[in-house]
Chains A and B, each alone.
Chain A
Amino acid sequence: MSLAECRSAGALEVKFVPDEDVLRHIADDAGIKVQKGKNQLIANPKRFVKKLEAISDDEAQEVLEEKSYVAVLGVCGEESMTNGSSVGGGEVYTFQTPKRSNKMAELASELAQTPGQSAVPDPSKCPEKTAKTPQSSKRSSSSQVQQKTKKNEFVSTTPYRLRKRLADAQLESESEYSASCSEEEEGEEAQKEVSTVLSHQKTPAKTKAVSTPPSRKTLTKKKDNMNDLVEEYFEAHSSSKVLTSDRTLQKLRRKRLNQQTLHDLLQKSPLAYAAEIKELNQQYESLFSKWMLQLHLGFNIVLYGLGSKHDLLEKFRTSMLQDCVHLVVNGYFPSITVKSVSVLNSITEEVLDHIGTFRSPLDQLEFIMKRFKEDSSLELYVLIHNLDSQMLRGERSQQILAQLSSLPSIYLIASIDHINAPLMWDQAKQSLYNWLWYETTTFSPYVEETSYENSLLVQQSGSLALSSLTHVLRSLTPNARGIFRLLAQYQLENKDNASYPGLSFQDFYQQCREAFLVNSDLTLRAQLTEFRDHKLIRTKRGADGVEYLLIPVDDSTLSDFLEKEDEDI
């Protein structure tokens, strides 16, 4: 049942799917990869195009079914959300990987039905086929297809679009042909494998059963199918063809930028759709007083959606909370913790003016809860940017925060960004938090939140390490600098040695003595302690118990450093 037919009928149809189909649906997933590779080798490109067409139709139907299922659940009823995001569950989770499932298997098996055609991978090996012009091949195959559709009419799908496409197939068939040709070149090494697979394919009789949706035949053929499935499984897993894109950042011809230039470039480029984004944000700003109302009524507010919510919360803070005691927590800050260090301490020390320490965060929490319960005039607004950040997402931190937020006079407003963030909370925590969810898709860049992270686009130059090296070294005596130079030079000399363990202490001492840098191994040790304290060197004990010294900086930085040193001298 194609989508188009559904549409023409004007009614949504719920299809019965028997168990064996479901089973096929699950089991065939494994076979996709190799079959996909196969498809690109088909000598008859037009057919392939049409098949794909049919597949997309069926896919749409699948989605339709999912949707109606969801609608039946009543979770995603007719009434769409205000922002128009009425997407069914199945659609969301699959993101960019469309569910080919059994469609591809069917396609492959139908190809196997005509083994003479498709088992020949290389057009050059089959002269009479290549001699055909695209037009002629089109005609023959189109008649073939029409026959096929007639045949199929009473058993299974008649892709409406397919028929429609026949009319204007000519242009596209040519373009597709060239496309598939280029793909053939790519998949050259996979060919052999595929041809073997094809020889293993099901017999025509069987494939018919497969290509017709719920038929009784499948029941009897189930066992055979399963055997094939097993084979397909191993085929799929033995194939080395990876479907992920290999266009990585490494392949960019341009050299990676340093932090500053990247920043400048980003600054220069204007924000797209600035006007619309601004309008969107203004919408959210009109909610501020509603948020305040709901906070006061005992709810806590969590913001979600694409885009940085930092500015929005900041605006909320400056416009609504100027006259109230409030606490801002930057969850994205790399060393933030709920326990002992940051959040609770901020509350006890600065909000409650309590001097003293607590033995455990639980004690501290109890103290805070007691104080807030005793003194009803105490009110505290807590703003947390990125409640789901690395540091705060732990179970215990969330528990503490949830308990804090459950106090009636602590008002929490937080933002989350991770797609799985809600998984942090179990029922108990969720009820403590008492969330009201607000969708605030801002589309604004996560500048603030990612400022502590390294960008992939930035060359990891280690400039920070270099500057710290020079800073520390500058404050040392010339002798100490010399010692470090020695070590650095030795390490650079050995940079090609992958198993370089470091310079052993004895050797180092010997070299230092020869350079008149130290007079006893005690002085050397004193120097090394100094280096170690500044994290300039690392000592490792080898298998033989000898101490090896190593500078934990990458080679390029080290050579930069040496060059700079040379300049200075």
Chain B
Amino acid sequence: MSTRSLSKGCFVFKPSPKKRKVSRTTAYYFREGSSDLEDSELRFATCQSLQKQVKSETEQIEEELNEQLFDNLVSFLRRSHSAFQEKKTEWTCRTKSREIPTAALVLGVNVTDHDFTFRSLSEVLQNNVTPYIALLEAKDCPGIKNLMQKLLGQLMNCCIDVDSSEEEDYEHVSRSRVRCSMTTLINWYESATKRTDSETPGKKRTSSRHWQSPPVVVIFKDMESFTTKVLQDFVVISSQHIGEFPLVLIFGIATSPMIIHSLLPHSVSSLLCIELFQSLSCKDHLSTIIDKILLTTQFPLKLSEKVLQVLINIFLYHDFSVQNFIKGFQLCIVEHFHSNPLSVLCCQLEEAKRRVNSLSHNQCENVRRLPSFRRYVESQVSEKQIALLTVDSSLKEAVQKLLEDLNVYHENYFPILRCLHVFTSSLPKYPLGKQIRELHCACLENRVWETEEYESSLQLARMLNKSDLVTMLQKCVEILVSSPGREFDEIVEKLKEFLTQFQKLEEAYQERDESISPQKELQKKTNLYHLQKTLLELKESRRSKKLTKFEMLRFEVVDYIDSLVRHYLVPADHKTLHEIVYFNTASVLREHLNAAPRIALHTALNNPYSYLKSEVL
């Protein structure tokens, strides 16, 4: 059947049910498209599990980050609710107040992340406060009528959800038939609360989870996109009825809280009793994500400097969306496992060791082809070289050892990186970057101690005052103690020693370093040559002699940190077998996530040779 027609633009193809096979699994396509058939099932399984792990981890992080905000919101709802309870007992004053309690939730410009926030928010509220939650989006509500429809639909549905266990099809009215008005809403609310009230003795769940007469929470996901009129109407109408049922509004705001006042005239906004809530900024959010996901040994896959740079650039220059960042990371995972046959070894160390043993000959050849492995082979003695290149078993042994080395390297790398960050993040002007991700990128890119920035930051570090230095050292000790690395006992000892020395210094503050006064020596020498020499020495020594004990100690500390950096923060691509765990084809990522159709068109038109490799062009 063709898809060309003069009368139709849409074509549906349904394979006959007989012919319809069990649809191919994702793994099938993974195998089909993968560049190398080796171990594709295993790779796919690893990839999937890693993705799942990352997903759950990120979700957990997000929940933790939002916890504070949600707690505040819940307590706000509680307060507004208690006011209603009081009013309910005093029927007289009920009609007087017409202010609707409103929470203005400032979420930042990363609109794409809001969905997740709202979803977890409604979950939290559902579990703790009230079953009556309506999530409204501007695109569903072009008019007040649609808004009410949507609102009633969501509220009544959720009510039915709660009770569905005992009443199967109780008033399963299609909401199109219900007249959508505030009165219906109020009637519904009364009947609903009455019902739950009467059920409370029998069912403890409702009473324990929700309060008596739970508030109705209406969430406007994207307040800015709602038309002014709809919002105004809704606020005015509901303020008329606020005495009859407890309504709470939550506005999701992307820009600034001022928008409420520019959207709503004073007469309307005065009907709202607004409280402001600020969510965590997306930059902090990203730092946490990077910290917890990329800068740990928990996940075997690592990103190379360029890839990380691309992801961060997309974040900073395009959308501020943490979700997109995670999406990019997920894409990295897929690409890595899909394109690299050796990625089968990209898993936890014990598992990887086991897998090394079962590598096929082809895979061994793949290992031998890795540039980093070639370098390694070349550095070995000739007998070993031959063994590595010809005998699979000896290769496997070496690979196991190298993987272990790599693991140890990572275990040491991250704590030391954090320590270095403790130092550099407090320096003026931040020569190595304020965020740990910048430092991480710098370390991955090349030997960080060869860069100018590092030089200048060391110089600045040599000028730190004592209290700062002590707190930093203490922080470093904390970091190192809490990290799982094995080699850190020594370093911790050394740092503690420094700390005690600082303490001692304080006690013996007055004591000065007494040295032999060079003046005396000067008088002995009469020879011109000797005189010059001693003068030079004197000059040299004067510079160093001026150092107090504290300064000497400070130099020592900085030098020690420097030595740590030189030892542990070697860039990853100097490590053998880094190709297995590092994803480094940044171009693929940029092409797929941050494409430039304009450039493609431009190149195709101006320089077709880049596509068509024809001699004529």
A is bound by B: yes
Residues of B within 8 A of A436 (CB): 331, 592-593
Residues 313 to 372 of chain A near chain B (Cβ within 8 Å): 314, 317, 321-331, 333, 335-336, 342-343, 345-347, 350-351, 359, 362
Residues 213 to 239 of chain B near chain A (Cβ within 8 Å): none
Assess the A84–B612 pair: CB atoms within 8 A.
no
A213 at the interface (CB under 8 A from B): no
Complex-state Cα separation, A330 to B8, whole angstroms: 8
Complex-state Cα separation, A457 to B594, whole angstroms: 38
- Smallest distance from the beta carbon of B306 to chain A beta carbons, Å? 7
Complex-state Cα separation, A422 to B21, whole angstroms: 37
- Name the residue on B nearest A280 (C-beta): B611
Residues 56 to 95 of chain B near chain A (Cβ within 8 Å): none
Which of A80, A92, A276, A296 is B26 in contact with, Cβ under 8 Å?
A296
Assess the A443–B598 pair: CB atoms within 8 A.
no
Assess the A74–B313 pair: CB atoms within 8 A.
yes
Assess the B15–A322 pair: CB atoms within 8 A.
yes
Q: Of the listed stretches B27-35, B265-273, B459-467, B497-505, name the one at the interface; the rest are far from the partner chain.
A: B27-35
Residues of A within 8 A of B317 (CB): 73, 75
Assess the A329–B597 pair: CB atoms within 8 A.
no
Write the residues of chain B forming the contact surface with A, with a CB cutoff of 8 angstroms: 3-4, 8-15, 19-21, 23-24, 26, 29-30, 32-33, 110-112, 139-140, 176, 306, 309, 313, 317, 319, 321, 323-324, 327, 330-331, 334, 338, 586-588, 590-605, 608, 610-614, 616-617
Among B9, B15, B176, B617, which residue has the most Cβ atoms of chain A within 10 A?
B9
Q: Of the listed stretches A3-11, A154-162, A255-263, A286-294, name the one at the interface; the rest are far from the partner chain.
A: A286-294
Assess the B10–A328 pair: CB atoms within 8 A.
yes
Given contacts A273-B614, A314-B3, A427-B321, is CB(A306)–CB(B10) below 8 Å? no
A120 at the interface (CB under 8 A from B): no
Residues of B within 8 A of A290 (CB): 29, 33, 338
Complex-state Cα separation, A331 to B330, whole angstroms: 31
A82 at the interface (CB under 8 A from B): yes
Residues of A within 8 A of B608 (CB): 273, 443
Assess the B587–A82 pair: CB atoms within 8 A.
yes
- Smallest distance from the beta carbon of A40 to chain B beta carbons, Å? 26
Assess the B176–A359 pair: CB atoms within 8 A.
yes
Q: List 19 A–B pairs whose Cβ atoms lie within 8 Å, in order of A's numbering.
A: A75-B594, A84-B603, A92-B602, A277-B612, A280-B612, A292-B24, A292-B32, A293-B29, A293-B338, A305-B600, A323-B19, A325-B15, A328-B3, A328-B12, A350-B14, A437-B593, A438-B592, A439-B600, A441-B611
A304 at the interface (CB under 8 A from B): yes
Assess the A273–B612 pair: CB atoms within 8 A.
yes
Residues of B within 8 A of A328 (CB): 3, 10-13
A195 at the interface (CB under 8 A from B): no
Complex-state Cα separation, A84 to B612, whole angstroms: 11
Give the dominant DSSP class at B's interface: helix
0/1 interface trace, chain A 90-110, chain B, CB 8 Å (1 if under): 011101000000000000000
Known contacts A83-B611, A296-B26; 13 additional CB pairs below 8 A are A79-B306, A85-B596, A273-B612, A296-B29, A297-B26, A321-B13, A326-B13, A328-B12, A330-B10, A419-B601, A427-B321, A428-B111, A431-B324
Which of B10, B20, B617 is A329 in contact with, Cβ under 8 Å?
B10
Given contacts A75-B313, A323-B23, A441-B611, is CB(A87)–CB(B602) below 8 Å? yes
A434 at the interface (CB under 8 A from B): yes
Assess the A77–B13 pair: CB atoms within 8 A.
no
Residues of B within 8 A of A92 (CB): 596, 598-599, 602
Given contacts A81-B590, A276-B613, A434-B327, is CB(A362)–CB(B603) below 8 Å? no
- Smallest distance from the beta carbon of B190 to chain A beta carbons, Å? 28
Residues of A within 8 A of B331 (CB): 299, 436
Given contacts A292-B29, A436-B593, is CB(A350)–CB(B12) below 8 Å? yes
Assess the A306–B605 pair: CB atoms within 8 A.
yes
Write the residues of chain A forming the contact surface with B, with a CB cutoff of 8 angstroms: 73-75, 77, 79-85, 87, 91-93, 95, 273, 275-277, 279-280, 287-290, 292-294, 296-297, 299, 304-307, 314, 317, 321-331, 333, 335-336, 342-343, 345-347, 350-351, 359, 362, 379, 399, 416, 419, 421-422, 427-428, 430-431, 434, 436-439, 441, 443, 448
Complex-state Cα separation, A240 to B42, whole angstroms: 72
- Smallest distance from the beta carbon of A74 to chain B beta carbons, Å? 5
- The list of the 8 closest CB pairs from A to B, nearest first, reads A333-B9, A437-B595, A289-B33, A306-B604, A336-B9, A431-B112, A289-B32, A276-B612
- Name the residue on B nearest A436 (C-beta): B592
Assess the A325–B601 pair: CB atoms within 8 A.
no
- Name the residue on A nearest B26 (C-beta): A296
Complex-state Cα separation, A532 to B486, whole angstroms: 92
- Smallest distance from the beta carbon of A290 to chain B beta carbons, Å? 4
Given contacts A74-B309, A81-B590, A427-B111, is CB(A292)–CB(B10) below 8 Å? no
Residues of A within 8 A of B612 (CB): 273, 276-277, 280, 443
Which of A84, A307, A335 is B9 in contact with, Cβ under 8 Å?
A335
- Name the residue on B nearest A79 (C-beta): B587
Among B8, B10, B24, B617, which residue has the most Cβ atoms of chain A within 10 A?
B10
Complex-state Cα separation, A280 to B12, whole angstroms: 29
- Smallest distance from the beta carbon of B308 to chain A beta carbons, Å? 11
Residues of B within 8 A of A273 (CB): 608, 612, 614, 616-617
Residues of B within 8 A of A335 (CB): 9
Which of B4, B306, B598, B610 is A77 in contact with, Cβ under 8 Å?
B306
Assess the B601–A305 pair: CB atoms within 8 A.
yes
- Smallest distance from the beta carbon of B109 to chain A beta carbons, Å? 8
Complex-state Cα separation, A37 to B610, whole angstroms: 36
Complex-state Cα separation, A550 to B111, whole angstroms: 55
Assess the B334–A294 pair: CB atoms within 8 A.
yes
Residues of A within 8 A of B587 (CB): 79-82
Residues of A within 8 A of B334 (CB): 293-294, 297
Assess the A293–B9 pair: CB atoms within 8 A.
no
